Amino acid sequence: MTDAEFDRIVGEALDSLPEWVNETMDNIVFAIADWPSPEQASEGDGLLGIYEGVSLLDRGNDYSAVLPDTITIFKQPHLALGLDPDELRNEIRVTVLHEIAHHLGMDEERLHELGWD
């Protein structure tokens, strides 16, 4: 899979978000990388994506003038899963949704309720 194809699939996942999610997200950027950095990889094996920042639920009144949170989706760990194209597209979407859920402050139960797991 080319970088452009992977980028397009991540973009499709973002485009498919419900409007309430787009309206809720705040001060966040999305990135795509081939692999996690050593610091990111320390978060665990098989890392497909990572959210780095302060979730919306944890932001207090003093939250201001901070760099944006970042969601990074990793291409090569996704490809290493060896999934067929449809399964890979779905796994990328699930990863994007899962990391956005961390930004929104959702727990695993809420992810399941929304079908984002």
Interval 34-43: pLDDT, tens: 999 998 888 7
The confidence score (pLDDT) of residue 117 equals 65
- What's the pLDDT tens digit per position in 48-103? 999 999 888 888 888 888 899 999 999 999 999 999 999 999 999 999 999 999 99
What share of the chain has pLDDT > 90, as a percent?
A: 60
CB 55 within 8 A of CB 104: yes
CB-neighbour burial class of residue 39 (10 A; exposed 0-12, middle 13-18, buried 19+)? exposed
pLDDT tens per residue, range 6-28: 999 999 999 999 899 899 999 99
Second-level CATH architecture of 3-54+66-114? 2-Layer Sandwich (3.30)
- Domain range list for the chain: 3-54+66-114
